[in-house]
Structure 1
C-alpha cells in the first residue's frame, strides 16, 4: 500500500471511529497517538543502532538510571519498555486506557532537561481529552485500542522530506481541517498556499548557510515545514535551519511541536512557545521572570504567517512598543498589528510573507496611515490576490503580501491570481502551474498583461495609497462589442479579426484562407472551419515543429527515471525536468508553458509515489504483488478481506495490455459479444406484437424484459417446432440467454486465470521488461498529454472563428424580416378566432398594430 492509499485508509477509518466527536477535537487524539508512536519507534531505532537487541528492551525501566540517561541523551526523552507503542500493540485485548495515562505521565517526568521546551506538556491535549473517547474506562480502552491498531502500520523511517509519516500527518490535518468548519483556520494553512509562500521565501534565501525562520501564529506548523523544506532543497542542509514558532492555543501549539519533531527536525533547532504574539512579544525573554537580565531580541531571515483575520486586540499603550512604530492597528482589526510584528523581527536582508484579508489594501483610518508608512519606506515588494474560497472555514478574498526590511526599488508588484484555480469540492485550489506562474513573476519582478503589474510609488500616491488590486491590474475578460455596420450588412468586422493577431502571427497564411476581404468587412464562406484550419500548411508545420521540439523527452525521461529508479531524487528531478520542458517549448508560439508544466505535475503525482517505493525497497519492488484488501460487510460489521491481487508498482491492467495482450483480447471479445447479445435480445422484444407481449408470462408487465423462469417454461412447451414468429422469437431469446450464461462463466474463468498469470508474470519480469513497463506507465501517458497541447490551441481558435462567423451571420434586416413574417402569420391566425363583441374589438386592434387587415 503506497502512502496515499495508506493515508486514505486511515482517514476513512478515523472519520468513522470519531462518531460524534467534533473533527477539530478528534484530530488531537489521533495525531497525538501517531506522535507517541513516532517517539516510541524513534527510541527503538536509535537503541538498535547502538547494538540493543530485542532481549535487551525489557531493561528499559525508570529504575535503571544509566539507561534512562543514555536514552535521554540520544532522543531528548525516555520511554520505558512497558510504555512503548509496540508493547501496547502486543497487549492486544489486555490493553487499557490506564496504560496511556500512565505512559503520558511517565513521559513528562523523563524529558531531558535540555529539551524540556520542545517536549514539556506536548501530550497535555491528548491526556485531558482521553475521557471523551468513551463514557467509561471500557469504552475508552476500546476506542484507544482501535486507534492504535489503525495507525500501527504507518512506517516511521525518519526521512526528512516526502516521508510517509509526514505525508500521512499532513493528509490527516488537511482532511480534519476540511471537516472542522470555521475552526479549521485556527490550525491549518492549505498546502498550496504554504507552497506558494515557501517558494517565494526560498528563492530569496538561496545560498545562505545558516537560516532562521519564524511563524508567530504557527497553527499546525505546516507553513514552517514547507518553508524549511523549500529552503533545504536549495541550500542542501536541512540541519542548518532554525525554526521559531509561537501559537496562542495550547492544543494547536502542541500540534506545532509534534509536526516539527516528526519531520526529522533536530530538537535543538526547534524553539517554540505557547503565548499571545501581540501581547507578549517573543522571544524577547527566555523567562518571564528577570526580564531585564534575559532580554534577547529575535531577528530572523524569514517570517511567515497566516494570522487570524481581523480579530480584536488590545492596542493600549502599544505606542511605546517598537514593533508598532508605523502606527497602531484599530482594536477591532489586528491585521496590521500582526504584519508590523512580523516586519519588526526581520533582519535587514530578510523577507516575509503574510496572508491577510483583502480589506487591508484599502481600508482607511489607522490602517491607511500604516499602509502609507509601509509604502513610503519601500517595505512592500509584492501583493498577490488569491482566489476566493481558498481557505477552509472562510470564503472571504485574501492576499499574500511580500515585504522586505530594506529594499531599493520603490515600485510594488501587484499580482491578480484570483482567476487561476480549479474547483476542489467546496473550495477553490491553486494548481502547481498556478503557483509557478505567481512565483515566476514575483521572482523576476515583471509585468504580465491581465496578471501582474509593476506600479510606481507616484501612482500609488496619486491613488491616496489605496492598493486595491483592480485599480492596477484588470484581469477581467474584455467586454463583448458589436459592430454596427456588420450588424446591419453582415460580414465579420476587421477589428475583431485582428484581435486574434497572435494566431495570425504564428500561422501567417491562415487568415487569408479563412477570410475574404470584401472592403468594409471580412467574409467567411467556409462551412467547415475546423477542416480549413487543420489543413493549413502553417498549422500543420506548427504541430510538426512542436512534436519535434518535445520528441527527445521520452529518451531523456527514460535515462533520468527508468534506468535506475531506485536512485532517483523525485523532487529534484521534477524541478530539473520542468526546466528542460520549458527550454524545449520556449520557441513554440501559443502553447502555454504553464499548461505543459501542469501536465508534468499531474503525472508526477503518481510517478513520485512509485519512485518513493522503489527508493525505499529497491528495484525488486517492481516485481512485488500484494493482496488487494477491501472492506466488506459481514454480520453487520465492516471486515477487511482479500479481493484478488494488485501490483505494488505495476498495475495489472498495464501488464496485461503490454505483455498479455492475446489473453486480454480474448476476454474483451467475449465481453463485447455479451453486449451484442443484450442488443439482440432488446431487438427481439421490440419486434413483438403488443398483444403477444401482454398475453405471455415470459415477458414482464412493462413489456421491456424477459422473465427468465417463465421464458424457460414457454420454450420447453414450444418444443422443436415453433408455430409463429412470436414463438420463434422466444426460442431465439432463450438461446441468447444460454449463450450469455456460458460466456459470462467463461469470462470469469478466463479473468481468474489471467489474474494468476499476471501475478506470475510480474514476479518473473526481467529487468528490461520491468523498465519497459515503467516507461509505459510513467512516460508514455505524459508524452501523449504533452503532444495534445497544440490541438487544444487549434480547437480554441476554431471556436473563436466559428463564434465570430455566427455572431454576424444574421443581420438586422434578417431579424426585421423574421419579425415581419411572424407578425403576418400571427395576424392571420388571429382572423380564425371568435368571441364576444368586446373580445373581437380587442383582436381587431391587435391585428391593426401587427399590420394585418
Structure 2
C-alpha cells in the first residue's frame, strides 16, 4: 500500500474501534500510541546502527545505568526491552493494559535532563485516558491490543521527502477534525490553508541559511511543520530551522510535540511551551537560570490560527510592549491581541501570516484604532479573503492577513479568493490551483480583475481605514441584463458582444466572419453553423496549432522527468518544476488559464507521487509485484479480512489487460456487455405480453419478472393445444424467454471462468514484465491521461465561445413583437372556436363577454 491507502485503512478501522468515544478524545489515544511506537522504533534503529545485536537489545533494562545513560545522551530518552512497542506485539495474549501504564510511567522517569522540555509529560493525556477505553481491565486490554495491531505496520523510517509517518499522522488528525465538530478548531488548521500560508512565508524567506519560525497557538503543530517543509525547499540544510511553539491546552500541546518529533526534527531545534500566549509571553527563560537563559524571541516568521474572537483580559496591558504602539483589543474579542503578539515577535525583515475572522477588517472601536495604527505604520502587506465553510466547526467568513515589520511599499494587496474552491462533504476546500493562484498573486503583487487589487494607503484613508474586501475588489457575477431594443426588434447588441472581448483580441478577424455588418449597434449571426465556422476559422486553427506546437515535446519531457529518472526524482519538488514548465509553454498562448492546466497536473500528481515513493523505497522490482486483495466480510456475526484475488502493487490489472491482454479483455467485455443487455430484453418481452397472457403464473406477483419453472410448464401446455395464431405467438414469446434465460446462465458461467483465468494471467503477466514494458505501462498510467486532458484545453476554450454566442443568439431570437403576434393569433383562433359553441342563454352571454375580452373590445 502507498501512504494514502495505509492512512485510509487505519482511519476506517480506528473510526470503527472508537465506538462511542468522541473523535476529539479518541485521537489522543491512537496518536499517542503512534508516537510511542515511533520512539520505540527510533531507539531500536539507533542501537542497530551502533551494532547492538538482537540479544543485546533483549538485555536492555533500567538497572543497567551505563547503557541507559549512553542511550539517553544520544536520543534523549530510554525504553527498556520489556517496554518496547515491538515487545508488546510479541507478547500476544500475555499483553495487558498494565504493561502500558508501567511503560509510560518509566518513560517519563527516564527522560534525559536536556530533553525534558520536549518529552516531559508528553504521554499524560494518553496515560490518564486509558480508563476510557473500557469499563474493565480486560476491556481496556482488548481495545489497546486492537489499536496496537492497527498501527504496527506504519513504517517509521521516513525515507521520502514527505515521510509516510508524518503523512498518516496529519491525515488522521484531519479526519478526526472533520468528525470533531466545533472542537476541531482547537487543534487543526486545514491542510490547504496551511499550505497557502507556507508558500507565502517560504517565498519571503528564501535565501536565508538559518531560520526561526514560531506558532503561538500551535494546535497539532501541522501548520508550523508545513511552514518548515516549504521553507526547507529553498535551503541546503533543513536542520537549520528552529521551531518555537506555544499551546494552552495540555492534550493539544502534547500533539504539537509529538508531531514535531515524528517529522525527524532534532529535539535541539524544538522549543515548546504549555501556557496562555496572551498572558505568558516570551521572553522565555529557565526559572533555575533566568539570566543565562533569557531569550526575547525574535523570529523570521510567525504563523498562527488563533481561536476566533475569544474573550481575554485586557486589564494592565497598556505598558505591554506588544500592544503599547497600537492599542488594546476589546475584552470580548482577542483577535487583534493575537495579531499584535505575532507582529511583536518578528524580526525587522520577518513576515507573519495569521488566520482571523472577517470582522477584523471593518469593526470599529478599539479594533478600528489598532487597524488605523497598523496601516499608518505600514505593517499590513496583504489580505486574503477565504471561501466560507473552509474551517472545521465554523462557517464564518475568514481571512489570512500577511504583515511585515518593515516594507518598502506603502500599499496593501487585497485578494478576494472566496469563489475558488470545491465542495467536499459539509466543507469547502481550496484546490491546488486556487492555492497557487493566490500565492503567485501575493508574490507578484498583481491587480487582477474581480480577484485582486493593490490598494494605496491614500485610498484606505479615504475609506476611513475600513478594509472590507468588497470595497476594493468586486468579485460578484454581473446580473443578467436584457437590451430593450433587441428584446423588441431582435438582433444581438454589440455591447453584449463586447463582453467577449478577450476572444476577439485572440481571434482578430473571427467576429467579422460570424456577424453581419450593421449601421446600428445591433448585429445578426451571419452563418448557419456557428460551431463549424468557429472551429474552421483561420484564427482558431492558428491558436490550436500554436498550442499543439508548444506542447509537442511535452510527453518526452515528462517521460524524461518521471520514467527515466524515477529512482532519483525529487518527489517534493517535481510537481512544482513540471508546473513551471507548463506555465512557460502557455506564456504566449492566449485564453487558456494556466491555473486550470496546473489543476489537471495536480489531479494526476497524487497517484504519480504515491507510485514514485514506493519505487524509490522498495526498488524498481516493486513494479512487478502483486498484493493480496483484502476485503472485509462478515462471518458468524464478526467482520473478517479475507483475500479476494490480487491487485497490482503499482501497475493496475485493468491497464495490463487493456494494453497487453487486449484480445482476452475485449472478448470478456463483449460477454459482460451482452449479459448486461439481457434484463432489458426481459422487460421488452414482459411489455409485449397481453393482459390475458400476464394472468397466467409465468410472472411473479409484481409482474416484473418471469418465473422460470412456470414458463417451462406453460410451454408444455401450449404445445398440446390447438396452434392458433395467438397460441403460436405466446409460444414464441416464452421460447424467446427460455433461450435468453439459457444464454444468461451460459454467459454467467463463461464470464466467471474467463474472469478468473484472465485475472490469474494478468497476475502472471505483471510478475514477468520486462523493464521496458514496465516503463511503457507507467507511461500510460502517469502521463497518458494528463497529456489527454491538457490537449483538450483549446477545445474547451472554443466550445465555451460557441456556447456563449449560441446563448446570445437564442436570447434575442424571439422578440416581444413575435410573442405579441403569437398571442393575438391564439386569441383569434380561440374566438372563432367560441362562435361554434352552443348553450343556454346564460352560457352564451358568458362566452360573448369572454370573446369581447379576447378581442380587446
Contact persistence 1:200–1:442 (CA under 8 A): yes
Q: In the alignment, does 2:728 pair up with 1:724? A: yes
Partner Cα separation in structure 2 for residue 842 and residue 681 of structure 1: 56
Go from structure 1 to structure 2 and tell me whether the alpha carbon gap of 1:160 and 1:835 turns closer, same or farther (over 3 Å shift): farther
How far residue 851 of structure 1 moved from its aligned partner, in angstroms, is: 3.4
Contact persistence 1:830–1:847 (CA under 8 A): yes
Q: Which residue of 2 aligns with 1:804?
A: 808
Partner Cα separation in structure 1 for residue 574 and residue 720 of structure 2: 72
**SS, match of residue 524 in structure 1:** coil
Partner Cα separation in structure 2 for residue 98 and residue 12 of structure 1: 27
Q: Which residue of 2 aligns with 1:200?
A: 200
Deviations 1:530-550 (A, max 9, x none): 222222232223222212211
Q: Which residue of 2 aligns with 1:346?
A: 346
Structure 1: runs of 5+ lacking an equivalent = none
The 5 A counterparts of 1:378-417 are 378-417=378-417
Q: Which residue of 2 aligns with 1:630?
A: 631
Go from structure 1 to structure 2 and tell me whether the alpha carbon gap of 1:693 and 1:461 turns closer, same or farther (over 3 Å shift): same
Partner Cα separation in structure 2 for residue 843 and residue 156 of structure 1: 90
Q: Which residue of 1 aligns with 2:752?
A: 748
Q: Which residue of 1 aligns with 2:284?
A: 285
**SS, match of residue 403 in structure 2:** strand
Contact persistence 1:715–1:734 (CA under 8 A): no
Q: In the alignment, does 2:509 pair up with 1:509? A: yes
Partner Cα separation in structure 1 for residue 26 and residue 830 of structure 2: 70
Q: Which residue of 2 aligns with 1:619?
A: 620
Partner Cα separation in structure 2 for residue 840 and residue 132 of structure 1: 86
Q: Which residue of 2 aligns with 1:587?
A: 588
Q: Which residue of 1 aligns with 2:119?
A: 119
Q: Which residue of 2 aligns with 1:818?
A: 822
How far residue 850 of structure 1 moved from its aligned partner, in angstroms, is: 4.0
How far residue 525 of structure 1 moved from its aligned partner, in angstroms, is: 4.6
**SS, match of residue 414 in structure 1:** strand
How far residue 74 of structure 1 moved from its aligned partner, in angstroms, is: 2.2
How far residue 664 of structure 1 moved from its aligned partner, in angstroms, is: 0.4
Partner Cα separation in structure 2 for residue 633 and residue 301 of structure 1: 56
Partner Cα separation in structure 1 for residue 386 and residue 226 of structure 2: 19
Contact persistence 2:160–2:613 (CA under 8 A): no
Q: Mean Cα displacement is larger for which, 355-364 or 284-293? A: 284-293
Q: Which residue of 1 aligns with 2:597?
A: 596
Partner Cα separation in structure 2 for residue 729 and residue 845 of structure 1: 60
Q: Which residue of 2 aligns with 1:566?
A: 567
Q: Which residue of 2 aligns with 1:316?
A: 315
Deviations 1:156-214 (A, max 9, x none): 11347311111111110001000101100000000000000000000000010110000
Partner Cα separation in structure 1 for residue 547 and residue 832 of structure 2: 62
How far residue 292 of structure 1 moved from its aligned partner, in angstroms, is: 6.7
Q: Which residue of 2 aligns with 1:437?
A: 437
Contact persistence 2:656–2:777 (CA under 8 A): yes
Q: Which residue of 1 aligns with 2:523?
A: 522
Partner Cα separation in structure 2 for residue 290 and residue 678 of structure 1: 83
Contact persistence 1:130–1:140 (CA under 8 A): yes
Contact persistence 2:629–2:644 (CA under 8 A): yes
Q: Mean Cα displacement is larger for which, 704-713 or 818-827? A: 818-827
Give TM-score, length-normalised by structure 1.
0.97
How far residue 727 of structure 1 moved from its aligned partner, in angstroms, is: 1.1
Q: Which residue of 1 aligns with 2:467?
A: 467
How far residue 708 of structure 1 moved from its aligned partner, in angstroms, is: 2.0
Go from structure 1 to structure 2 and tell me whether the alpha carbon gap of 1:834 and 1:466 turns closer, same or farther (over 3 Å shift): farther
How far residue 569 of structure 1 moved from its aligned partner, in angstroms, is: 1.1
Contact persistence 1:101–1:127 (CA under 8 A): yes
Which of 736, 742, 757 does residue 740 from structure 2 map onto?
736
Contact persistence 2:213–2:244 (CA under 8 A): yes
Deviations 1:786-842 (A, max 9, x none): 0111111112111111111111112121232234345556667788697997x9988
**SS, match of residue 492 in structure 2:** coil
Q: Which residue of 2 aligns with 1:364?
A: 364
Partner Cα separation in structure 2 for residue 621 and residue 308 of structure 1: 46
Q: Mean Cα displacement is larger for which, 509-518 or 347-356? A: 509-518
Contact persistence 2:491–2:813 (CA under 8 A): yes
Q: Which residue of 2 aligns with 1:578?
A: 579
How far residue 577 of structure 1 moved from its aligned partner, in angstroms, is: 0.8
**SS, match of residue 122 in structure 1:** coil
Q: Which residue of 1 aligns with 2:453?
A: 453
**SS, match of residue 121 in structure 1:** coil
Q: In the alignment, does 2:130 pair up with 1:108? A: no
Partner Cα separation in structure 1 for residue 706 and residue 526 of structure 2: 54
The 5 A counterparts of 1:46-57 are 46-57=46-57
Q: Which residue of 1 aligns with 2:713?
A: 713
Contact persistence 1:386–1:400 (CA under 8 A): yes
Contact persistence 1:652–1:758 (CA under 8 A): yes
**SS, match of residue 320 in structure 1:** coil
Contact persistence 1:24–1:177 (CA under 8 A): yes
Contact persistence 1:530–1:798 (CA under 8 A): yes
**SS, match of residue 594 in structure 1:** helix
How far residue 670 of structure 1 moved from its aligned partner, in angstroms, is: 1.5
**SS, match of residue 478 in structure 2:** coil
**SS, match of residue 302 in structure 1:** strand
Partner Cα separation in structure 2 for residue 619 and residue 20 of structure 1: 44
Go from structure 1 to structure 2 and tell me whether the alpha carbon gap of 1:715 and 1:845 turns closer, same or farther (over 3 Å shift): closer
Q: Which residue of 1 aligns with 2:689?
A: 688
**SS, match of residue 549 in structure 2:** helix
Partner Cα separation in structure 2 for residue 640 and residue 220 of structure 1: 33
Partner Cα separation in structure 1 for residue 694 and residue 793 of structure 2: 54
Deviations 1:322-375 (A, max 9, x none): 000210000000000000000000000000000000000011111111111110
**SS, match of residue 500 in structure 1:** helix
Q: Mean Cα displacement is larger for which, 453-462 or 533-542? A: 533-542
Q: Which residue of 1 aligns with 2:551?
A: 550
Partner Cα separation in structure 1 for residue 182 and residue 685 of structure 2: 60
Q: Which residue of 1 aligns with 2:643?
A: 642
Q: Mean Cα displacement is larger for which, 603-612 or 522-531? A: 522-531
Deviations 1:676-723 (A, max 9, x none): 44444433333332212222x222344432112322333455679986
How far residue 517 of structure 1 moved from its aligned partner, in angstroms, is: 2.1
The 5 A counterparts of 1:326-337 are 326-337=326-337
Partner Cα separation in structure 1 for residue 136 and residue 794 of structure 2: 65
Q: Which residue of 2 aligns with 1:672?
A: 673
Q: Which residue of 2 aligns with 1:607?
A: 608
Go from structure 1 to structure 2 and tell me whether the alpha carbon gap of 1:676 and 1:144 turns closer, same or farther (over 3 Å shift): closer
Q: In the alignment, does 2:798 pair up with 1:794? A: yes
**SS, match of residue 351 in structure 1:** strand
Contact persistence 1:160–1:264 (CA under 8 A): no
Contact persistence 2:351–2:402 (CA under 8 A): yes
Q: Which residue of 1 aligns with 2:499?
A: 499
Contact persistence 2:284–2:295 (CA under 8 A): yes
Structure 2: runs of 5+ lacking an equivalent = none
**SS, match of residue 399 in structure 1:** strand
Partner Cα separation in structure 1 for residue 838 and residue 566 of structure 2: 84
Partner Cα separation in structure 2 for residue 62 and residue 814 of structure 1: 97
Q: In the alignment, does 2:768 pair up with 1:764? A: yes
Partner Cα separation in structure 2 for residue 288 and residue 365 of structure 1: 39
Partner Cα separation in structure 2 for residue 115 and residue 401 of structure 1: 35
Q: Which residue of 2 aligns with 1:248?
A: 248
**SS, match of residue 239 in structure 2:** helix
Q: Mean Cα displacement is larger for which, 559-568 or 36-45? A: 559-568
Q: Which residue of 2 aligns with 1:297?
A: 296
User: How many residues are treated as equivalent by the alignment?
Assistant: 850
Contact persistence 2:159–2:617 (CA under 8 A): no
**SS, match of residue 545 in structure 2:** helix
Q: Which residue of 2 aligns with 1:146?
A: 146
Go from structure 1 to structure 2 and tell me whether the alpha carbon gap of 1:817 and 1:718 turns closer, same or farther (over 3 Å shift): closer
How far residue 62 of structure 1 moved from its aligned partner, in angstroms, is: 0.3
How far residue 619 of structure 1 moved from its aligned partner, in angstroms, is: 0.6
Partner Cα separation in structure 2 for residue 511 and residue 406 of structure 1: 51
Go from structure 1 to structure 2 and tell me whether the alpha carbon gap of 1:720 and 1:830 turns closer, same or farther (over 3 Å shift): closer
Partner Cα separation in structure 2 for residue 209 and residue 565 of structure 1: 29
